[in-house]
Each structure stands twice: as structure tokens, then as C-alpha cells.
Amino acid sequence: MKVTPVVDARTRRWRAALFLFMLATGVSMASWVARTPAVRDALDVSTGAMGLVLFGLSVGSMAGVLVSGGLVRRHGGRTVITFGAGLLVAGLLVIAGGAALEVSGGVFGGLALFGAGLGLAEVAFNIEGAAVERTVGRPVLPVLHGCFSLGTVVGALLGMGLTAVRFPVGWHLATVAVAVAAAGIRTVRAIPPGTGREDAEPRAGERAGAGGWRAQVEVWRDRRLVLIGLIVLAMAFAEGSANDWLPLLMVDGHGTSATAGSLTFMLFAVAMTTGRFAGGPLLVRYGPAAVVRASAVVAAVGVALVVFSSSALLAGAAVVLWGLGASLGFPVTVSAAGEGEGERDASARVAAVSTAGYAAFLVGPPSLGFLADHVGLRAAMIVVLVLLGGAALITGALRRRTATPVAGDGGEATGGGAAGGGAAGGGVASRGAAGGGAVGGGASSAHSGPV
């Protein structure tokens, strides 16, 4: 008989606070992306020059992602989230000031701060979310990332509305910064201290000071974790490719209008949000391996229809499959990485897989542009199709490790290390971070994820 753990009020506040701040983070990301054309006009720069300004977001994001895991191990998740939230708010305010004063360097610096805050906070949030899953015994990470996706939809709609009435972009972003600060304060107060922090004393057989980067590298000796890392690379790449290229893919590849391209991306974001909020019961019933295998196949079908269909209408409808299929890959793999014999090991594994996923989400998709110069953007997306097919073949690595059976888990098992459905939890989205494709696209490039 399956026993559902009793969730106390403190844990409920902890979980709700994580949901709140991920929602606020999604709103802030999409708010920036939706106002990118207005910022470009305010700065009076070319598209190429605006691309250099946007590079600040990518640099800051990767820097934050790469150092976050080690900082969590040293100081704990709450401290890192506090610092990340502060950088995120400061970045929004600097962007708002730079746009109002028409200073390109100010916007670049603000984007670097904003991206660093996102990178720091998102890895720490995955570690916190995995810890909540182990406590409550139910999937948490899919809904956590779903809140980010929902925030991108809300932020994009808000941005489009304020753009239509020509509301000043500086005041818009400053207002969002205040809202994010309020959400951050409430979140930090509800998070218990020390999640993910390594013990002061080394374990038997371990040298003193063996942590940080060394710990994040050593976890990759686990063959299962390597396979999980390959799955998250493929799934995050699929999500990031849609974020960076989907509007342009519809415009250049299928001859649609720019408005139709933006609406197509909005459809993708809604599908991502729906998949993440609806995925929990499927994960509990069928287990993470079966769900991610099916997700990879569904996403591959969607990508194939977008690439090979001659009908723009069919391709536009197929992005629903792309979004639904990609929605659970990132969060479920992160959750599976969190299984283990103790929180210390779990935090190191979650940080390692999160870093790999965000790197694929941020760095991989832009490389498709170089390939597209030679074969076209539609043909370049075949890379995404191949990666999804490969991921579907190795999802057995996501089977739960422990031995207490759960009814309806499709032959998989769960127990204390994963806390029941916890191992099934789960994605820049997302992830959010890069944004280079946003120039001139309005809300079309709002990231839905691998946060």
C-alpha cells in the first residue's frame, strides 16, 4: 500500500515560494524580450550592434550557471538564490536606466547582471526543488519549471499590450524589477537554510576541501549520470532551438508573416506550460523513463512535421507537439539526477546535470545558425531530430534506483532516495537566458524554459 507523506506547513510555504519566484522570473525574462524592439529603437543602433548588446545576457547567464553549483555546495541554496535575485533585480533596473538614457553600454551591463542572476538562481532552484521532492514524495520540478513557462506567457502578453499603448520601456522594466524584488524577499524568507551545502567535515576516504568544481566533475564517473546528462543535452537543445529559431523558422522556412511567427512561438510556449503542469500524474503513473521516452518521440514528430511539411498551417500546428514533447525533458532528468544516498551527493548531481542542460540550452542552439547558412534553417533542424531520437533510446537510465515498488510505475521502483514521485519531477528553461534571436521579434523569443 502506498503511503502519501504528510506535508507540513513549513514545507508547503517552501514549495509555494519556489513556485512564486519562478513565475516572477519568467515574467521578467519575457518582459525584457517583448520590449527588445523598443530598446533597440531607443538606443538607435543597427541589428548587428543590438546583437552585441544582447551578448551581455548570454555571457552573464553562462557565468552564473557555471559557478552556481559550487556556490550552493559552499553556502547553501538560500544564500545563492538571495544573491541571484539581487543581481536579477539590479540588472532589470540598469537595463531600464540604460534604455531611458539611451546608453548601449548600460543595457549591455544590465543584461550581464540580469543573466548572472538568472544563472545563479536557476541552478540553486533546481537543487531546492529536488530537495522538496524528496520531502513531499511527489513531483515538484515539472510544476516549478511550468511556473517559469507560465510567467513567460504572462510576461509576453503584458509586454505586447504595453508596447501597443507605447508605455515607456524604462518604466515597464523598473516596475517588473520591483515586483521581482517583492517576490524574491518572500521566497528567501520561506526557504530553509543550508539546502545543498556540503558538510564541514569530509566523509571517510575524502580529502579535506574536496568539493566545489572537483565534486561536480567527480560525479560524472557514474555511468548512469552520464546517460542522464546526454538525455538532458538533447531535450534542452530541442527546447532552446525553438526558443531561438522557431519564429524565424516559420517566417523564412514556411513563408509566414512575422506576426504569425510570433504567434506560433506563443503556441509553443503555451504547449510547454501545459505539458509541465499536466505531467505530474503521468510521471507518478508511468515513471520517468516511459514518460521521457514518449516525450522525446512526440517532440521528434513535431520537429519532423515542421521540417518536412510543405504546409505552413500543418507546421504551425506541429509546434504543439514540439512544445509538449520538450516540456518535461529538462525537469525530469534533473529530478532523476537528484536520486541518491544523501542530500550532499544529490545536490552535486543536480548541479552537474543542471549545468549541462543550461549549457545545451544556451550555447547549442545558436550554433545551428552556422549550419543554416549552408543548408537552410529547416534542414539544420534535422540535428534536433537526431538528438531527440538518440535520447529516446537511452531513457532507461531514468528508471528509479531504489527498491520500494509504487503501483502503476510501469515496472520501475521508488523509495526514500527519490521520495516516491520525486524522481519523476522535473526544464531554461529554463531555462531562460539567451535572447539573441529577440531582435525585431518582439515577444517571439521569450524563453520558456530549460528554467
How large is the average pLDDT for residues 91-115?
A: 92
Distance of CA 412 to the CA centre of its chain: 26
For residue 385, the model assigns a pLDDT of 94
Please give the residue that has the higher pLDDT: either 369 or 223.
Answer: 223
C-alpha cell of 355?
Answer: 549545468
How large is the average pLDDT for residues 406-433?
A: 37
Domains in the chain: boundaries:
8-195, 222-399
Residue type for position 418: A
Please give the residue that has the higher pLDDT: either 436 or 6.
Answer: 6
Task: Give yes or no for residue 119 having a pLDDT over 60.
Answer: yes
For residue 204, the model assigns a pLDDT of 47
User: How many residues are listed for the chain in this entry?
Assistant: 451
Please give the residue that has the higher pLDDT: either 2 or 87.
Answer: 87
> Residue written as cell 545536490?
347
Task: Give yes or no for residue 342 having a pLDDT over 90.
Answer: no
Q: Residue 233 and residue 357: Cα distance in Å, rounded?
A: 5
How large is the average pLDDT for residues 292-306?
A: 95
Task: Give yes or no for residue 171 having a pLDDT over 50.
Answer: yes
Q: SS3 string of 229-267? A: HHHHHHHHHHHHHHHHHHHHHHHHHHCCCHHHHHHHHHH
**CATH domain 8-195 topology:** Growth Hormone; Chain: A; (1.20.1250)
Please give the residue that has the higher pLDDT: either 110 or 246.
Answer: 110
Q: Which of 39-53, 124-138, 351-365, 422-436 has the highest mean pLDDT?
A: 124-138
Task: Give yes or no for residue 348 having a pLDDT over 60.
Answer: yes
Is residue 333 within 8 A of residue 228, CB to CB? The reply is yes
Give the SS3 label for residue 166: coil
250-290 confidence digits (pLDDT tens): 888 888 886 677 678 788 888 988 998 888 888 888 999 99
How large is the average pLDDT for residues 204-222?
A: 59
- How far is CA 322 from each of CA 242, 243, 299, rounded to the nearest angstrom? 8, 11, 4
Distance of CA 71 to the CA centre of its chain: 19
DSSP string spanning 87-118?
HHHHHHHHHHHHHHHT-HHHHHHHHHHHHHHH
For residue 231, the model assigns a pLDDT of 94
pLDDT tier for residue 387 given thresholds of 50, 70 and 90:
very high
For residue 198, the model assigns a pLDDT of 64
Task: Give yes or no for residue 317 having a pLDDT over 50.
Answer: yes
Query: Which CATH architecture group holds 222-399?
Result: Up-down Bundle (1.20)
How large is the average pLDDT for residues 68-88?
A: 90
Please give the residue that has the higher pLDDT: either 194 or 228.
Answer: 228
For residue 23, the model assigns a pLDDT of 94
Q: Residue 65 and residue 354: Cα distance in Å, rounded?
A: 8
Please give the residue that has the higher pLDDT: either 403 or 77.
Answer: 77
For residue 434, the model assigns a pLDDT of 36
Q: Residue 194 and residue 249: Cα distance in Å, rounded?
A: 44
Say if residue 416 is exposed, middle or buried (CB neighbours under 10 Å; 0-12, 13-18, 19+). middle
For residue 130, the model assigns a pLDDT of 82
Is residue 139 within 8 A of residue 426, CB to CB? The reply is yes
Give the SS3 label for residue 431: strand
Cβ neighbours of residue 285 under 8 Å, at least 6 residues apart?
A: 408, 409, 410
Cβ neighbours of residue 16 under 8 Å, at least 6 residues apart?
A: 190
Residue ranges in 309-399 assigned as alpha helix (H): 312-327, 329-337, 343-363, 368-375, 377-380, 382-393
Is residue 402 within 8 A of residue 415, CB to CB? The reply is yes
pTM for this entry: 0.71
C-alpha cell of 99?
Answer: 534604455
Sign of CA dihedral 236, 240, 242, 245: negative
